[in-house]
């Protein structure tokens, strides 16, 4: 191709042209092979070109690929909703609202939370509180809830107020900040609180302490505020449990899913809404004021059903937990060898690795050095894909996320660690 007219995230960067994917590997037009150590954007949960998923997509397309949600339901969409409800495994049913991206899922959750209170005549209860170092999506409603300064700053005049609560690594005191924030705003004005069970891109895998979400649940119940768990990144086995919230004993009112739900085979995402939240809507207008042309698309729904069946058949949630422990150990050991590698945190196959100027004293590199971007690029040149997680606060500090497909085997994990180590050693040399 002579010249590209494609708008890219970074126009000055030369992207390789991907031509083929197989298992945990992607191949480009120049014949280079990349180990997909980040599942793209923490998405390709099963790796590439899994025959069972391709068959399911083909079979669905032979019967019907598209129906419009206001005209038909389909077996594929109904099956998916039933399966997700079963996986949540609560005493309460969870209804599914299907959309096409994580941003739409969190924005739908926001709207349903507000509608829940409106249907009860409560029109002022419409603020959604959130935390710093959070990312809930790029569309304006989702961005409004996101504690990500870099992504907000151009659009600040169009967005709601900044978040008021510390990220979850602030510990249990951070949970108390929610109580204070609700009191400051007035509980009558607050519809919901949204949080990623484990913070992904905006914090680099920040894991709250035991008891954190149990306390969040108490505070939400006390003030009659809904709790939305944004599981777009953590959901569907990524953290070694089916849902990220399964690591804590607190049940959200609304769960958002995306990324791993279609595992990169199709764009599909969802807001799962508890029957408690749906009740006033079902007794009231009986219609959720949201929806897209491709909502509940049968082609996407059939793909997601096949993804969930594959995960179950191959025990991939348990495998994610085991493989995560293996990789966590390996990266911690690397840290002892390489001063560039700072703290390593993770649950299942969602691992955050801090890149530090001096890991002994946890001294970050200055932001201007762009160390995260340099690491991601060098890793790519070495044939390894990792996910950048710096920049949410606009301050110093660098983190990359390692989140390979849950199907990764031992040999591939060893290769991943070897390529990571090579990249860290080369960068270390450049900086010393
Ligand atoms: N919520 C979380 C926790 C995410 O990590 C993301 C994407 O990274 C989103 C929402 C937005 O999802 P999408 O990029 O599919 O719109």
Closest residue by Cα to residue 384 from 366, 363, 408: 408
Residue of minimum CA distance from atom 5 in ligand 1:
233
Task: Answer left, alpha or beta for residue 15, where phi above 0 means left and psi between -120 and 50 means alpha.
Answer: beta
| Ligand 1 and 136: CB distance under 6 A | yes
Residue of 142, 232, 236 to mutate, ligand 1, most atoms within 8 A of C-beta: 232
Distance 386 CA to ligand 1 centre (A): 17
Residues of the chain below pLDDT 70: 1-2
The minimum-distance atom of ligand 1 relative to the CA of 258 is 15
| Ligand 1 and 258: CB distance under 6 A | yes
The conformation of residue 381, written as its DSSP 8-state character, comes to: H
The Cα 386–Cα 375 span in angstroms is 9
Residue of minimum CA distance from atom 12 in ligand 1:
102
Residues 409, 374 contacting (CB under 8 angstroms): no
- Number of H helices and E strands in the chain, helices first, is 13, 14
Beta strand pairing status for 269-274 and 341-347? unpaired
Q: ipTM above 0.85? A: yes
| Ligand 1 and 137: CB distance under 6 A | yes
Question: For 95-131, how does the pLDDT look when each residue is reduced to its tens digit (9 = 90+)?
Answer: 999 999 999 999 999 999 999 999 999 999 999 999 9
The minimum-distance atom of ligand 1 relative to the CA of 139 is 16
| pLDDT on residue 180 | 97
Whole-Å CA distances, 107 to 80, 196, 216: 21, 14, 21
| pLDDT on residue 276 | 98
| pLDDT on residue 336 | 86
| pLDDT on residue 1 | 62
Distance 137 CA to ligand 1 centre (A): 5
Closest residue by Cα to residue 406 from 260, 298, 265, 262: 260
The Cα 277–Cα 291 span in angstroms is 18
The Cα 90–Cα 260 span in angstroms is 21
């Amino acid at each position: 191709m002579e010249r590209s007219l494609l708008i890219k995230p970074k126009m000055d960067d030369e992207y390789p042209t991907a031509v083929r994917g197989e298992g945990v590997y992607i191949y480009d037009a120049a014949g280079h092979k990349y180990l997909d150590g980040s599942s793209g954007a923490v998405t390709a949960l099963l790796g590439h070109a899994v025959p069972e998923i391709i068959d399911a997509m083909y079979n669905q397309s032979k019967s019907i690929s598209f129906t419009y949600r206001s005209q038909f339901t389909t077996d594929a969409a109904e099956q998916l909703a039933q399966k997700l409800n079963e996986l949540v495994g609560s005493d309460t049913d969870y209804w599914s609202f299907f959309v096409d991206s994580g941003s739409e899922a969190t924005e739908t959750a926001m709207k349903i939370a507000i509608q829940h209170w409106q249907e009860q005549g409560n029109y002022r209860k419409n603020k959604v509180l959130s935390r710093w170092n959070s990312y809930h999506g790029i569309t304006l409603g989702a961005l409004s809830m996101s504690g990500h300064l870099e992504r907000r700053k151009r659009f600040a005049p169009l967005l709601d107020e900044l978040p008021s609560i510390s990220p979850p690594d602030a510990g249990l005191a951070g949970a108390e900040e929610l109580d204070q924030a609700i009191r400051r705003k007035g509980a009558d004005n607050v519809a919901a609180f949204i949080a990623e069970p484990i913070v992904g891109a905006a914090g680099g895998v920040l894991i709250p302490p035991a008891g954190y979400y149990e306390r969040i649940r108490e505070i939400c119940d006390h003030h009659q505020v809904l709790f939305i768990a944004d599981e777009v990144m953590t959901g569907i086995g990524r953290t070694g449990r089916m849902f990220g919230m399964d690591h804590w004993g607190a049940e959200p009112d609304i769960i958002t899913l995306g990324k791993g739900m279609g595992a990169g085979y199709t764009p599909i995402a969802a807001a799962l809404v508890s029957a408690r939240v749906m009740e006033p809507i079902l007794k009231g207008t009986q219609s959720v004021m949201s929806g897209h042309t491709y909502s509940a698309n049968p082609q996407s729904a059939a793909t997601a059903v096949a993804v969930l069946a594959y995960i179950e058949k191959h025990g991939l949630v348990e495998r994610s937990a085991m493989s995560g422990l293996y990789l966590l150990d390996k990266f911690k050991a690397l840290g002892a060898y390489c001063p560039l590698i700072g703290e390593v945190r993770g649950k299942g196959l969602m691992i955050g690795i801090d890149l530090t100027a001096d890991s002994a004293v946890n001294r970050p590199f200055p932001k201007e050095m762009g160390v995260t971007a340099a690491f991601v690029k060098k890793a790519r040149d070495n044939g390894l894909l990792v996910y950048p997680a710096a920049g949410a606060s606009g301050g110093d500090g660098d983190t990359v996320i390692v989140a390979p497909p849950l199907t990764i085997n031992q040999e591939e994990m060893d290769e991943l660690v070897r390529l990571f180590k090579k990249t860290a050693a080369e960068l270390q040399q450049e900086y010393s």
